[in-house]
Structure 1
């Protein structure tokens, strides 16, 4: 694992090629991953239950990509660091109350 790389976990719109083209200006290369202890009811949130799992993709991104993603996400979503099932430390957007 390279700690200098930046990763973005996506389970929604950022998985779509058209959204990636719109937000990042290109399609991102990613691999399947998941968040353990999270659920999707109705949005991704920590559940604290280890059997809960949200499947998605992890994309390697740049600081500029994260800034573009910040601008794309609604104001009630915040970027948070999480550990994925594969062990990567990745950013994910979580809805704030």
Structure 2
């Protein structure tokens, strides 16, 4: 089975969101994404709000400062898990592949209009 790396800085780090999205809690390790700032977006999808417990979700936007970074967690997941994460995220997000501070390349969800 192939493994995908997924970086989360927001609600996908929450155990209840992981159980609902992947059917289990994920095992991850701390990392950070460089070159982005944290912002927030209002979620209107009732299912996502119900699962996450909030209509205010963090979102990444490209940073002006070269040393900007956002901490989070990187998870090793299956392609099916990645598809489940795609289903969970709303249209405000798009998935891109980026190198993390550790050097690991991972998928991350960023502001869809920001790249």
TM-score by length of 2: 0.76
Q: Unpaired segments of 5 or more residues in structure 2?
A: 41-58
Q: Deviation at 1:41? A: 2.7
Residue 17 of structure 1 pairs with residue 15 of structure 2: yes
* Alignment-derived partner of residue 63 in structure 1: 79
Q: Unpaired segments of 5 or more residues in structure 1?
A: none
Q: Is the 8 A contact 2:4 2:77 kept in 1?
A: yes
* Alignment-derived partner of residue 112 in structure 2: 96
Task: Show CA shifts across 1:27-48 (max 9, x none).
Answer: 1010000011111133312215
2:70 to 37, 47, 54: 54
TM-score by length of 1: 0.90
1:79 to 95, 99, 105: 95
Q: Distance in 1 between matches of 2:20 and 2:98?
A: 25
Q: How many residues align?
A: 94
Q: Distance in 2 between matches of 1:41 and 1:28?
A: 24
